[in-house]
């Protein structure tokens, strides 16, 4: 234990409390004989991992601490999420990666696909082939086949049997977690949101570092109760006239919290995150009445990420969120060199223009060097709302 804690990243102390505690909790689970499966993407059906009695953990890194290390191997003009994730793996500085018995990749964007080819030299990596369109019959068949193959890989590697009963239980548990996290962010649909966007992000992002379902749901229920109580007392987290912002784009959290901070320091309040840290992941439920593997295939294939072409589900989700949260403006965060989201910006802009919703797109990375520049842009945007 002591050795492991000694190798925690230098920025350990600055991580959210949930993430810090998560490191310790993960070590305890490993000590108790549990195996860990690391994932990078919302498309990976974690219910299969849960049904196998394994612990799923998100591996996307959100700090620039190991980017220099990664750039010894990877090109510098690559998305920071990919560089940081690889950097933490090669430098052994991410305890979650360190503890992972299996790492699951997916063929989403080109940078990640190629990075997995290198990661395989360090870890046991399994890559799921994700189709890039939802509209062809064959896509669904291919994805269902990938889900079957992933199930078999888990069973083989860990010597377990994923029965239908276990899978149905995992679907129910994960649906419950999604429903609670959705309740957390939907509370900010109130005319005066009861929590700031920063606090909301802390809860949503931090939830992935809670590994025991019962503890996680209990804590979320307590958090929801506290937020409701303070809302009932009229203790809003933002001024009555704060501009209501929806954040979209690449996954946000860790270093990119800076964007939420500058928006909220400039007279805005982030009421909802449409990206993978928020509604993209928690908006819908897996059908509990359907055959579980089929239900998982349908649920995950329908995720509205820019790696899909075309990508109507992202726009459909927005339409609903903009109305439900009474949005004054949309801010898109693009990570540097994320081509799929960057190209989709045009479609997004047109979609919002038709609805008269102001839009700001910013590109950033994991360093804090552009915080002032982001603040200037956010302040000018909110000023004109």
Q: Return the structure tokens found at 246.
A: 């929806």
Binder among 22, 56, 87, 111 for ligand BJ8 (CB under 6 A): 111
Q: Return the structure tokens found at 264.
A: 């909220």
Chain positions 225 to 254 lying near ligand BJ8, rule: CB under 6 A, are 250-251
At its nearest, how many Å lie between ligand BJ8 and the CB of residue 282?
A: 12
Phi, psi torsion values for 206, nearest 5 degrees: -65, -25
279 binds ligand BJ8 (CB under 6 A): no
Nearer to ligand BJ8, 116 or 381 (CB): 116
Q: Return the structure tokens found at 282.
A: 């928690």
Q: How far is CA 41 from CA 4, 45, 101, 194, 316, in A?
A: 26, 9, 17, 30, 21
Binder among 201, 305, 333, 378 for ligand BJ8 (CB under 6 A): 305
Assess contact for 189 and 324: CB atoms under 8 A. yes
At its nearest, how many Å lie between ligand BJ8 and the CB of residue 41?
A: 3
- Per CB under 6 A, the segment of 159-167, 206-214, 289-297, 300-308 that binds ligand BJ8 is 300-308
At its nearest, how many Å lie between ligand BJ8 and the CB of residue 100?
A: 17
The Cα angle at residue 81 between residues 78 and 87, in degrees rounded to 5: 85
**DSSP per-residue string spanning 164-206:** HHHHHHHHHHHHHHHHHHHHHHHGGGSSS-SS-HHHHHHHHHH
104 binds ligand BJ8 (CB under 6 A): no
Q: What is the dihedral of CA 146, 335, 76, 59, to 10 degrees?
A: -50
Binder among 341, 359, 366, 381 for ligand BJ8 (CB under 6 A): 341
Nearer to ligand BJ8, 206 or 251 (CB): 251
342 binds ligand BJ8 (CB under 6 A): no
The Cα angle at residue 250 between residues 245 and 251, in degrees rounded to 5: 90
282 binds ligand BJ8 (CB under 6 A): no
CA–CA separation, 339 and 359 (whole Å): 19
Q: Return the structure tokens found at 313.
A: 């589900």
At its nearest, how many Å lie between ligand BJ8 and the CB of residue 194?
A: 27
Nearer to ligand BJ8, 270 or 335 (CB): 335
Binder among 37, 41, 67, 322 for ligand BJ8 (CB under 6 A): 41
CA–CA separation, 61 and 83 (whole Å): 9
| Total residues at interface with ligand BJ8 (CB under 6 A) | 20
Binding site for ligand BJ8 (CB under 6 A): 41-43, 79, 81-82, 108-109, 111-112, 250-251, 276, 303, 305, 307, 335, 338, 340-341
């Amino acid at each position: 234990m002591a050795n492991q804690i000694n190798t925690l990243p230098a920025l350990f102390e600055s991580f959210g409390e949930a993430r810090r505690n998560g490191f310790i909790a993960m070590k305890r689970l490993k000590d108790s004989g549990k195996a860990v499966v690391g994932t990078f993407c919302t498309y990976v059906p974690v219910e299969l991992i849960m049904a196998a009695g394994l612990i799923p953990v998100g591996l996307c890194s959100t700090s620039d601490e190991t980017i220099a290390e990664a750039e010894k191997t990877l090109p510098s003009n690559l998305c920071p999420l990919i560089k940081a994730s690889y950097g933490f793996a090669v430098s052994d500085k991410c305890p979650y990666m360190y503890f992972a018995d299996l790492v699951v990749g997916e063929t989403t964007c080109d940078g990640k696909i190629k990075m997995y080819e290198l990661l395989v030299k360090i870890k046991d990596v399994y890559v799921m082939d994700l189709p890039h369109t939802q509209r062809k019959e064959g896509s669904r068949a291919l994805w269902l086949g990938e889900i079957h193959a992933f199930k078999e890989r888990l069973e083989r590697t860990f010597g377990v049997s994923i029965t239908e009963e276990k899978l149905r239980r995992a679907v129910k548990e994960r649906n419950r977690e999604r429903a609670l996290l959705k309740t957390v962010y939907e509370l900010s649909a109130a005319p005066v949101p009861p929590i700031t966007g920063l606090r909301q992000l802390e809860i949503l992002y931090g939830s992935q570092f809670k590994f025991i379902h019962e503890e996680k749901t209990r804590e979320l229920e307590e958090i929801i109760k506290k937020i409701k109580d303070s809302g009932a007392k009229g203790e809003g987290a933002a001024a009555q006239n704060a501009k209501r912002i929806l954040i979209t784009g690449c996954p946000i959290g860790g270093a990119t919290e800076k964007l939420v901070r500058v928006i909220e320091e400039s007279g805005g309040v982030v009421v909802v995150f449409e990206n993978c840290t928020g509604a993209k992941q928690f908006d819908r439920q897996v059908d509990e009445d359907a055959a579980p593997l089929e239900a998982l295939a349908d649920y995950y294939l329908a995720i509205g990420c820019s790696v899909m072409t075309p990508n109507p589900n992202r726009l459909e989700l927005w339409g609903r969120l903009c109305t439900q949260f009474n949005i004054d403006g949309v801010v898109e965060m693009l990570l540097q060199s994320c081509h799929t989201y960057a190209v989709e910006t045009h479609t997004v802009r047109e979609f919002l223009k038709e609805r008269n919703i102001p839009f700001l797109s910013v590109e950033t990375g994991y360093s804090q060097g552009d915080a002032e520049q982001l603040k200037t842009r956010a302040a000018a945007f909110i000023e004109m709302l």
